[in-house]
C-alpha cells in the first residue's frame, strides 16, 4: 500500500511540474514592461526555420564610409590634450587617407579600425610599448564569460610578453567563479564575503566589478604560480590591493620560507597596496587578523617592467554594468595601477536571437565608454566586436542573424565614442565560422564559447592586427618628426 501511495505522490509531482513548465512556456514576451526570455521545453529537438535572408544585415556590415576625418574644431581639441600637434595631425591625416581611409569597414578582422579623433586612439599605448614612459605597459581586458578563466587573454599575455618583456599573470581577484579551472594561477581563499556588481550595486566598485569583505577576525588567501606558460612560473613583485582597513595585521609566508613577514596595513579609506619584491616569487600565503570588516580587491603577480595583462572577466556582464563604476574608487585604483590600454569585450549577454535592433544598447554603451574615459583618463580604449555564435536551423548550425545586427551596432558604438574597433567576428572567419571552431575542438558545443585552443587563435589574430596598426603609428610618428 505504501509503495502505491509513493507512486501516486511521484506521479502527482510530475504532473504539477509539467503544468508549471507549460505555464512558463506560455508566458508573454514581456511582463510589466520588461522583456522576458522565452522558455522552450523542446528547444533541443525542435527544428527551427531557416532564418530570413541575411542580405540586408550583410549590407550593413559592408560599410564603405571612409573613416572620419577631423574638423578644425576637433583637431584643436586634440592638440590641447598634448598628445600631438597640429602639423603632426595633418601629416597623419594624409597618411591615413593613403593607407586606410578608403578601405571602410574591415570585414575580415585583419586590421584595427581607428575611429578616434586625429587617428590617435592607440598612440599612448604604442608609445608605452616603444618604451617612452620607462614604466611597465599595463593592459586591462574587460569582458564576460568569453574570456573567463583566462581564455584568449592567457595567450595574448604570453605572446605580448615574449615580444616586449614582462612576466606574471597580473591582477587576480580574491575569489571568482573561474578560480577552480583557471590554469594560469592556483589560488585559494577562506573567510571572505564576495560583493559583485552583478547583484549588489550599493557597493563602490572599480574595474573588477567585485570587492571582498572579511567575514570574521581571520581571513586567508594563498596562491601558487602556474607552469601553463614559462613566463607565469615566477615573478619579481607581489602586490596585495586593499581598499578599507583600520589597521589590519597581515602575516605573509612565501616560497616556503620558515620566516613569516608581519605587516600592519596602515589605516585607509582609499584603495592602496602592499608590495613585496623578490626575484623569484612562486607561492605565498597571506593571513589577516583583526580583520572583520576589512575590504580587499585581490593580488597582482608580475614584474615591474615589460607587459602586464589583467583579466577582468565577469560572467553575465553585458558591459552596461560598468556605468556603475565608482569614479572615486577608479581614481584611487588608477593612481596605483594605471592602464595604457583598456580592451572591451562584450556582446554575448546582449544578443537575443529574436532581436535585430540594438539602438537601445548603442545609446547606453556609448555612455559606458565615456564614463570609463572619465574614470581612467590617460588610457587608450579598444572595442572588440562579438564573436560568431550559431544556432541550429533545420538540423544545421548557422550564424544567428542577430550576430550581424549586433556587430553593426558595436561598430557604430565605436564610431560614436571615438575609439578604435576590432572585428573579432571577421577574424574568426565570419559567418558560420563557429561551426569550424567546434569541429576542430577550438570551441565548446554550445557554439558560443571558445576553448583555450580557440582562444589562442583569436589572441594571435588580435596581436597581428595591433602590430599592423603599430606599423602605421610608427611610420606616422617618424614622418611627423
The pLDDT score that the predictor gives to residue 68 is 52
The pLDDT score that the predictor gives to residue 34 is 44
Mean pLDDT of 12-33: 63
Q: Which of 412, 409, 417, 430 is nearest to 357 (CA)?
A: 409
Is 75 found in the same domain as 162?
Answer: yes
Map the chain to HEC letters.
CHHHHHHHHHHHHHHHHHHHHHHHHCCCCEECCEECCCCCCCCCCCCCCCCCCCHHHHHHHCCCCCCCCCCHHHHHHHHHCCCCCHHHHHHHHHHHHHHCHHHCCCCCCCCCEECCHHHCCCHHHHHHHCCCCCCCEEEEEEECHHHHHHCCHHHHHHHHHHHHCCCCCEEEECCCCCCCCCCCEEEEEECEEEEECCCCCCCCCCCCCEEEEECCCCEEEEEEECCCCHHHCCEEEEEEEEEEECCCEEEEEECCCCCCEEEECCCECCCEEEEEEEEEECEEEEEEECCCCCEEEEEEEECCCCEEEEEEECCCCCCHHHHHCCHHHHHHHHHHCCCCEEEEECCCCCCCCCCCCCHHHHHHHHHHHHHHHHHCCCCEEEEECCCCCEEEECCEEEECHHHHHHHHHHHHHHHHHCCEEECHHHHHCCCCHHHHHHHHCCECCCCCCECHHHHHHHHHHHHHHHHHHHHHHHHHHHHCC
Is 261 found in the same domain as 343?
Answer: no
Mean pLDDT of 265-279: 89
For residues 289 and 179, the model is more confident at: 289
Residues of the chain above pLDDT 90, percent: 64
In this predicted structure, which of 51-60, 161-170, 174-183 has the lowest mean pLDDT? Answer: 51-60
Mean pLDDT of 389-410: 93
In this model, does residue 143 exceed pLDDT 70?
A: yes
Question: What is the edge-to-edge ordering of all strands in the sheet holding 420-422?
Answer: 113-114, 420-422, 380-384, 341-345, 137-143, 307-313
Please say which residue of 28, 46, 64 terminates a domain.
Answer: 46
Identify the band that residue 379 occupies on the pLDDT scale cut at 50, 70 and 90.
Answer: very high
In this model, does residue 253 exceed pLDDT 70?
A: yes
Is 391 found in the same domain as 270?
Answer: no
Is 431 found in the same domain as 445?
Answer: yes
The pLDDT score that the predictor gives to residue 83 is 58
For residues 92 and 355, the model is more confident at: 355
Question: How far apart are alpha carbons 297 and 101 in whole angstroms?
Answer: 43
Question: How far apart are alpha carbons 463 and 458 in whole angstroms?
Answer: 9
The pLDDT score that the predictor gives to residue 375 is 97
Is 475 found in the same domain as 338?
Answer: yes
C-alpha cell at 16: 504539477
Q: Which of 446, 447, 445 is nearest to 432 (CA)?
A: 447
Mean pLDDT of 276-284: 94
Identify the band that residue 24 occupies on the pLDDT scale cut at 50, 70 and 90.
Answer: low
What CATH number does the domain containing 261 carry? 2.60.120.260
Is 360 found in the same domain as 264?
Answer: no
CA atoms in the 13 A half-sphere facing the CB of 301: 25
The pLDDT score that the predictor gives to residue 247 is 80
Mean pLDDT of 34-48: 49
Q: Are 250 and 288 a contacting pair, CB within 8 Å? A: yes
Pairing of strands 380-384, 341-345: parallel
Pairing of strands 192-196, 307-313: unpaired
In this model, does residue 169 exceed pLDDT 90?
A: yes
Q: Which of 365, 381, 380 is nearest to 319 (CA)?
A: 365
Is 309 found in the same domain as 299?
Answer: no
In this model, does residue 92 exceed pLDDT 90?
A: no
Q: Which of 411, 420, 448 is nearest to 61 (CA)?
A: 411
Is 242 found in the same domain as 93?
Answer: no
Identify the band that residue 132 occupies on the pLDDT scale cut at 50, 70 and 90.
Answer: low
In this model, does residue 77 exceed pLDDT 70?
A: no
pLDDT in tens, 294-331: 999 999 999 999 999 999 999 999 999 999 999 999 99
Is 448 found in the same domain as 348?
Answer: yes
In this model, does residue 12 exceed pLDDT 80?
A: no
Bridge partners (DSSP) of residue 468 are: none
CA atoms in the 13 A half-sphere facing the CB of 286: 30
Mean pLDDT of 27-46: 49
User: For residue 257, which phi and psi values (nearest 5 degrees)?
Assistant: -65, 145
In this model, does residue 159 exceed pLDDT 60?
A: yes
Question: How far apart are alpha carbons 421 and 413 in whole angstroms?
Answer: 9
Q: Are 314 and 207 a contacting pair, CB within 8 Å? A: no
In this model, does residue 210 exceed pLDDT 80?
A: yes
Is 93 found in the same domain as 152?
Answer: yes
Q: Which of 471, 480, 479, 481 is nearest to 114 (CA)?
A: 471
Please say which residue of 280, 303, 326 terminates a domain.
Answer: 303
Please say which residue of 282, 303, 324 terminates a domain.
Answer: 303
In this model, does residue 464 exceed pLDDT 60?
A: yes
For residues 82 and 246, the model is more confident at: 246
Identify the band that residue 179 occupies on the pLDDT scale cut at 50, 70 and 90.
Answer: confident
Is 179 found in the same domain as 159?
Answer: no
Pairing of strands 192-196, 390-393: unpaired
Q: Containing domain of residue 9, as a range?
A: 1-46
Is 220 found in the same domain as 184?
Answer: yes
C-alpha cell at 332: 584611487
Q: Are 421 and 115 a contacting pair, CB within 8 Å? A: yes
The pLDDT score that the predictor gives to residue 7 is 65
Structurally, the chain folds into a number of domains equal to 3
pLDDT in tens, 42-60: 554 444 555 556 777 877 7
Residues of the chain above pLDDT 70, percent: 81
In this model, does residue 149 exceed pLDDT 70?
A: yes
What CATH number does the domain containing 384 carry? 3.40.50.1110
In this predicted structure, which of 106-115, 228-237, 297-306 has the lowest mean pLDDT? Answer: 106-115
The pLDDT score that the predictor gives to residue 228 is 93
Start-to-end CA distance of the chain, whole Å, equals 95
Identify the band that residue 6 occupies on the pLDDT scale cut at 50, 70 and 90.
Answer: low
Q: How high does pLDDT run on average in the chain?
A: 86
For residues 103 and 190, the model is more confident at: 190
The pLDDT score that the predictor gives to residue 120 is 84
Q: Which of 387, 349, 395 is nearest to 44 (CA)?
A: 395
In this model, does residue 101 exceed pLDDT 60?
A: no
Amino acid at each position: 500500500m505504501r509503495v502505491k501511495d509513493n507512486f501516486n505522490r511521484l506521479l502527482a509531482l510530475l504532473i504539477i511540474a509539467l503544468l508549471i513548465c507549460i505555464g512558463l512556456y506560455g508566458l508573454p514576451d514581456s511582463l510589466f514592461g520588461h522583456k522576458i526570455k522565452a522558455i522552450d521545453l523542446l528547444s533541443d529537438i525542435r527544428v527551427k526555420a531557416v532564418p530570413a535572408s541575411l542580405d540586408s544585415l550583410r549590407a550593413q556590415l559592408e560599410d564603405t564610409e571612409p573613416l572620419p576625418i577631423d574638423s578644425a574644431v576637433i583637431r584643436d581639441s586634440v592638440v590641447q590634450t598634448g598628445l600631438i600637434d597640429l602639423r603632426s595631425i595633418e601629416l597623419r591625416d594624409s597618411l591615413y587617407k593613403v593607407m586606410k581611409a578608403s578601405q571602410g569597414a574591415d570585414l575580415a578582422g585583419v586590421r584595427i579600425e581607428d575611429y578616434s579623433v586625429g587617428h590617435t586612439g592607440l598612440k599612448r599605448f604604442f608609445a608605452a610599448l616603444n618604451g617612452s614612459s620607462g614604466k611597465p605597459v599595463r593592459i586591462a581586458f574587460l569582458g564576460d564569460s568569453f574570456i573567463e578563466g583566462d581564455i584568449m587573454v592567457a595567450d595574448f599575455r604570453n605572446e605580448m610578453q615574449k615580444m616586449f618583456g614582462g612576466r606574471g599573470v597580473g591582477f587576480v581577484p580574491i575569489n571568482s567563479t573561474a578560480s577552480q579551472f583557471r590554469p594560469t594561477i592556483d589560488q585559494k581563499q577562506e573567510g571572505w564575503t564576495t560583493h559583485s556588481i552583478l547583484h549588489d550595486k550599493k557597493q563602490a566598485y572599480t574595474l573588477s566589478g567585485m570587492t571582498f569583505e572579511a567575514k570574521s577576525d581571520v581571513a586567508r588567501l594563498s596562491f601558487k604560480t602556474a607552469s601553463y606558460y614559462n613566463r607565469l612560473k615566477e615573478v619579481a613583485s607581489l602586490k596585495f590591493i586593499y581598499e578599507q582597513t583600520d589597521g589590519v595585521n597581515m602575516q605573509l609566508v612565501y616560497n616556503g620560507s620558515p620566516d613569516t613577514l608581519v605587516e600592519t596595513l596602515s589605516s585607509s579609506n582609499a584603495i592602496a597596496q602592499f608590495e613585496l619584491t623578490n626575484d623569484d616569487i612562486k607561492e605565498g600565503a597571506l593571513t589577516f587578523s583583526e580583520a572583520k570588516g576589512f575590504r580587499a580587491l585581490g593580488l597582482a603577480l608580475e614584474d615591474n617592467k615589460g607587459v602586464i595583462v589583467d583579466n577582468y572577466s565577469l560572467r553575465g556582464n553585458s558591459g552596461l554594468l560598468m556605468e556603475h563604476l565608482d569614479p572615486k574608487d577608479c581614481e584611487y585604483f588608477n593612481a596605483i595601477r594605471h592602464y595604457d590600454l583598456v580592451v572591451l569585450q562584450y556582446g554575448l549577454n546582449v544578443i537575443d536571437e529574436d532581436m535585430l535592433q540594438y539602438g537601445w544598447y548603442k545609446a547606453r554603451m556609448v555612455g559606458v565608454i565615456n564614463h570609463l574615459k572619465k574614470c581612467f583618463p590617460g588610457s587608450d580604449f579598444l572595442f572588440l566586436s562579438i564573436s560568431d555564435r550559431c544556432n541550429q536551423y533545420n538540423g544545421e548550425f548557422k550564424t544567428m542573424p542577430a550576430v550581424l545586427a549586433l556587430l553593426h551596432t558595436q561598430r557604430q558604438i565605436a564610431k560614436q565614442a571615438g575609439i578604435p574597433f576590432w572585428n573579432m567576428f571577421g577574424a574568426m572567419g565570419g559567418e558560420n565560422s563557429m561551426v569550424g571552431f567546434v569541429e576542430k575542438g577550438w570551441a565548446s558545443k554550445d557554439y558560443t564559447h571558445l576553448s583555450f585552443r580557440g582562444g589562442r587563435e583569436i589572441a594571435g589574430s588580435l596581436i597581428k592586427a595591433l602590430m599592423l596598426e603599430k606599423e602605421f603609428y610608427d611610420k606616422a610618428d617618424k614622418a611627423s618628426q
